[in-house]
Structure 1
Amino acid sequence: MFAIGLIGLGMLARVFGDFAMVWQPVAPWFPVRTALAYVTGAFEVGVGCGLLFPATRAWAVRILFPGLILWVLLKVPAVVAAPQTEGVWLGLAELTILLSGGWTLFARLAELPERSIFGFAAGERGVRAARMLFGASLPPIGLSHFVYLQATVNLVPPWLPFRAGWARLTGAGQIASGLGVLFNVLPRAAAWAQAAQISIYTLLIWLPVSLVTSYMNLEAVFGQSGRRLPFTALFISWTIAAAAWVVAQNVPRKRVANAEK
């Protein structure tokens, strides 16, 4: 799932010659931005394909992990510039979920040699650190459901009743899941619940919108973003869900965790 999401984002960068819109790591004024977007797209496709094959998987995660760290760091200036704006924390948190998934893959699959200088980020220690990052990422996302309530309600499928109630409930669920992972309160259930929740967002919201976009000339109404936004959001949401599943799969059962202690 993670590999497919990366490949999809890379293909979009190649098609549109640009980054992932509101998730973009490079400012519009940056020189040679289009060329850099093409290179980034090729990087995402290459790493995604590398994840699919056992022979290249270790090198793929070794390349992916620092790439995701850089993506997150490029978002930090926006947080520093406007720390009072919840939206910038939301954007950062979505990227740190991606990083937590990539970090878990790195910890499990990098096959680092003994005494590697990056050994601190691998193995069980790396998995635990990635899990804590995942837990810390969820409350800002859940909080955004309340701060931007109407925008969240607009994303709830219109055939569902009590749309405002669903917006608030899912936000509270994300906050609760994050706290559960952080403070070890049913962490496995919390992580799996969150992975399922993000997957439902992908399937109920962005997949149908993307399918509709395929049959409608939204570009004539909204310009290029009429095509870009639904598919970009689909693959971003897909990859975030995949990252959540990666983390959730690596939360040990309570009995196993106690035995390790």
Structure 2
Amino acid sequence: MLGFSTVCFGIACFLQGDFTIFWQPFPEGMPFRQPLAFLSSTLLVLSGAGLFFSRTRRIAAITQIVLFLAYAASWLSVFRSVQPWLGIAEHLATVAGAATVWARLSPESARLWHFGPTVARIAYGCCSIVFGLAHVVALEGTMSMVPAWLPGDAMFWALFTGAGHLAVGIALIVDRLAILATRLGSLMYLCFAAFAWLPGAVTHPDQWLRWAGTAITLVMLSALWLVGDYLRLSRQRNVE
């Protein structure tokens, strides 16, 4: 799933012809900005495709770790004008998911099993806390993403999903029902993609930013699911 969603994100970025301002806010005056944007999109597609094949999966995971760390760092360029924490957390959450793929395939995997699942769990948990707080801090923006056809008030859904993020984060950090939290959190991301992003992308197919939003939501879904898989495999090893 991470491979497919990353390929989709890369294609959407490539067709936009630049870095996506919502997720890759590199400075406008950055040297070689457009060639680097195309290189970034190409690497997203190639690394996503590489995750489908066992021979390339490890290098693909490393590539994604580097890419999404770079995207997280890009938010530091706008640190003074906006609050970058949500953007940074979105990319670090993806790094946590990609890192689980690398860890499971690393020559040091036997040693990494001792602390890797804990690091991945807490890392994604902290990011999820940021997501939940962002729903409250930027309540109006969150409400604007709620489809009008959903029953109930937009504020209810904004706060409800924010509480969902917080619940997932707390469950991961304190390690209580953590695997279940990753599954329910993934379902929530799927709803975000299907209800908040995809309809606009379908009705405005030339607006690649909407497709990128759909794809990055699926990327975070995949990362959370991978963290859950890593925890599950770790506990199976401990039982054995």
Find out whether 1:142 has 2:132 as its counterpart. yes
Displacement of 1:126 after TM fit? Answer: 2.3
SS in 1 for 2:22: helix
Give the conservation status (yes or no) of the 8 Å contact 1:10–1:41: yes
Displacement of 1:142 after TM fit? Answer: 0.7
Distance 1:158 1:56, change over 3 A: same
In structure 1, the residue matched to 2:177 is: 186
Of 162, 176, 181, which aligns to 1:171?
162
Alignment of 1:1-261 (within 5 A): 1-79=1-79, 81=80, 87-109=83-105, 111-112=106-107, 122-160=112-150, 161-214=152-205, 227-252=207-232, 256=236, 259=239
User: 1:37-72, CA deviations, whole angstroms, 9 ceiling, x for partnerless residues?
Assistant: 011111111111111112221222233223333332
SS in 2 for 1:199: helix
Distance 1:152 1:244, change over 3 A: same
Distance 1:14 1:121, change over 3 A: farther
Distance 1:159 1:18, change over 3 A: same
Q: TM-score, normalised by structure 1?
A: 0.82
- Distance in 1, Cα, partners of 2:121 & 2:11: 29
State the aligned residue count.
239
Q: TM-score, normalised by structure 2?
A: 0.89
- Give structure 1 regions of 4+ aligned residues with deviation exceeding 6 angstroms: none
User: 1:199-222, CA deviations, whole angstroms, 9 ceiling, x for partnerless residues?
Assistant: 1101111111111112xxxx7xxx
Distance 1:254 1:101, change over 3 A: closer
User: 1:62-113, CA deviations, whole angstroms, 9 ceiling, x for partnerless residues?
Assistant: 332233333323334544x46xx6x41111111111111111111113x32x
SS in 1 for 2:19: coil
Query: Is the radius of gyration larger for structure 1 or structure 2?
Result: 1
Q: Which residue identity lines up with residue 67 of structure 1 in the other structure?
A: L
SS in 2 for 1:165: helix
Q: Which residue identity lines up with residue 171 of structure 1 in the other structure?
A: G
User: 1:208-245, CA deviations, whole angstroms, 9 ceiling, x for partnerless residues?
Assistant: 1111112xxxx7xxxxxxx1321111111111111111
Instruction: Please report the RMSD computed on the Cα atoms of aligned residues, expressed in angstroms.
Output: 2.5
Give the conservation status (yes or no) of the 8 Å contact 1:65–1:103: yes
SS in 2 for 1:252: helix
Give the conservation status (yes or no) of the 8 Å contact 2:98–2:223: yes
Distance 1:37 1:178, change over 3 A: same
Q: Which residue identity lines up with residue 64 of structure 1 in the other structure?
A: Q
Distance 1:130 1:144, change over 3 A: same
